[in-house]
Structure 1
Amino acid sequence: MGEEINEESAMKPLTKLLILLISILISWGGWKALNALFFQETVSFFNPKSEVNWRRVNRTREEWKKLLTPEQFRVMFEKGTEPAYSGRYNDFWEKGYYTCAACRSVLFTSEDKYDHGTGWPSFKAPFSEANLEYARDYSLGLSRLEVRCSSCGAHLGHLFFDGPAPTGRHYCINSVALNFIPQAEAEGLIPERATFAGGCFWGLEHKFSQVEGVIGTAVGFSGGWVRQPSYEQVCSGKTGHAESIEIVYDPRKITYEELIRKFFAFHDPTQLNRQGPDIGTQYRSVIFYRNEEQRQIAQRIKEEVESSGAFGQRKIFTEIVPFDEFFRAEEYHQKYYLKNKK
C-alpha cells in the first residue's frame, strides 16, 4: 500500500510538468493567432523575404565580420540589440543623414528623427522605402516587424506603430547600425528621389530598375486620401491612389531630366486612366514632384514631348502634382518581375 502511494506521488510532478508544457504551447499558439488577427494589415504588408537575391551589396558573414566591429556584427548580422540609452545617436540632434553602417545606403534623415523615450534612435519615416525591407520577428515571445537595409540585408531594428502623426510609425533603430553624414558635408553624397505613376507598377518598376544610376526602387501607392491602402482597395478605384514607383537614384550618374524622359518612353502618356488592358484611375500617368525644380523640369519636358509629335497629335494626359506620401505595396509586389522571372 505504501509503495503504491509513493509511486503515485512520484508521478504527480511529472504530470504537472507535462500539463504545464502543453499549456505553454497552447498559449503560445493562441497568442500568435491573436497577433495575426489583430495585426492583419501589417502581416499582409510585410511578408518574409523572398528567396530571390537582388541586393546591391553581397558579402559573406565572414567578410562582414572582418569589415565591422564586433558589436556592429553582433547587432547587424546576428540580430542583436544594443542596451537602451547606450547608443551614440539616441540623444543626438545634429542635422544630416543616417546611413547603413555596413554598406552606407542612406536610411533616415534628421528631419524625421524624434525622441520616443525608449532609449534608441527613433524615426517617423525612412529616407525611402526603396532602401528598406521588412520581415516578421517572433523572437522574445513578441510579434515584431524587423527592419533591414535592402542593399545589404543588415538588421537595423524594428518598426512599431506607436509613433507620431502623420505616419504613426516608430522606427526603433540601433545606433551601432548607423553612421551619420552632417548636412554640411552631404553635398554630392546623398542620392535623390523621384516618384512616378504610369500603369501597372510591376512593369514600370522593372524598367527603371535596369537604368544605370538607379540605386533602388519600391512599388506602392500615391496621390490618394486613404492611408496605407491595400492593393485590393486601390484596385477598387475608391482610394484615389495611383500605382506608383519610388526611385532612389545617383544624380552623378543620371539626372532627373533623364529620368523624366525615360518615364515618357516607358509608357503611353496619351492614354487617359489606363495603360493597355489595365483600365482605371489607379493606372493614370502622374509625375509627383518633390520640389519646384522637379516641377519645372517635368512641365518643360512634357511640353517638349507633346510638341515633338512623338505621339502624333494625341494629347498627353500626364498629371504633374506635388508629392505628398508614398505607401509601400504588399511585399509580393516588390521586384515582381525579378521574383517571377518574367
Structure 2
Amino acid sequence: MSSDVEETAPAADIAAAEVVPESPSEEHEDFPGCDPVPMSWDDVLAAEGGRIWYWDGDTQTAWVVRDGSADHEVQGSRLASLMTRIALERGTDIHCFGSVYLMLRQPDGRTRRMMAPDQAVFLRPREPGRGDGIALGRDRLPDVVFETDHTTDVQRRKLGIYEQWGFPELWVDVPDAGTPSRPSGLGAGLTIHILEDGKYRRAPKSRAMPGWSAEAIHVALNEPSLSRETMAELARVGRELGASEGTTPEDDLQIRGHRRDAHRVGLRQGRTMGLREGQLLALRRIASRKFAAEFVSHLFRGLDQVEDVEVLAEVGLLIVDCSDAEELERQLAKVLR
C-alpha cells in the first residue's frame, strides 16, 4: 500500500454508528494463549487480577490470558509514556487507557460482546465511556487501538473483530523479546492497520500520528532507553499535531514552567553554590526531561566550559524551545561561537 493514505476526520470526532455490526459467529472462538472461563457480565465487571481479553454474552464465557505475564502491560505502558512525550510537544493532553472495555451492545443496552485492548489512545481527550467502558453506538472511538501479540491471536481473531466494529487504526506489535508461547514463524515488528471502506489495509505509516512509521514505532517501544533518533521523532510528531491544531509546547503548563525553572531554580540554587553552577544544574535537569541521556551528557561536556551566566540563560531558552537534538545543536552553534 502507498504511504499517502487518504486522510479522514479524527476518530475522536466521529461518533460510532447507531447501528452496530454483529460480531462474527463461530462455533469455537480462537484465542491462543487464553483459557475460556464461564463468567456473567457482572462477573467481568467485578473481576480483579486476571487478564480478560474477550467476553461473549451469548455463551457467558470470558477468555483469560493463561500465563499471566506482564508482557502486554509492559508494551502498553511504554506506549503511554511515548504518548506523554508527544503530548508535551503538541501542547495538549493525549489520553491512554490500558484497562478499558470495548463493548458491542444488545438493542436493549446490555453488553453482548467485549474486547480489552492493551491500550486505547485518544488524541482529543474527552470522557471516553460511562464507567463500564466504550460502547459502539454510544461513545467516541479511540484514535488508535494497540495490541501486543506473542501468539498470533490478534491476527487470527481480534483483527477481524476490530475491523467489523469499525476502529479506525490498529497497531499490533510483536516485541523483540520473545516468549515461550510465541510461534517460531512470528517475527518481531509492528504492523499498522488503517480502516478504509470498512476493511483494514496495512500502512507503512500512521494516520493518527502524522508520518510516524511502523518501523520507528516498533523501535521506540522496544529499545532499552529512548535513543536520540526516537526523541527527535517524538518531538516531530508532537509539533506536527500541534501545527494542525494551532498549539505549541507553550500551551502545556509543564513546558511553560520549564522557562521559569531555567531562571528561578538557577537563581535559588545559585545563592548557595554560585549562580553559574546553579544555572548548569537547572539546565541539566530540564534537558534530561526532553532529550536522550547520551545527548545530554555530550551537551554538558561543552556547557561546563561556559562561564557567562547570560549565555547560559539564553541556552536555557533554546533547550526549552528546540524540538530535537539536531535543532538544538544548530542553535547552540550560533550562541556559543
Q: Give the TM-score of the pair, scaled to structure 1.
A: 0.27
Q: Give the TM-score of the pair, scaled to structure 2.
A: 0.27
Q: Which has the higher helix share?
A: 2
Q: Which has the higher strand share?
A: 1
Larger Cα-atom Rg: 1
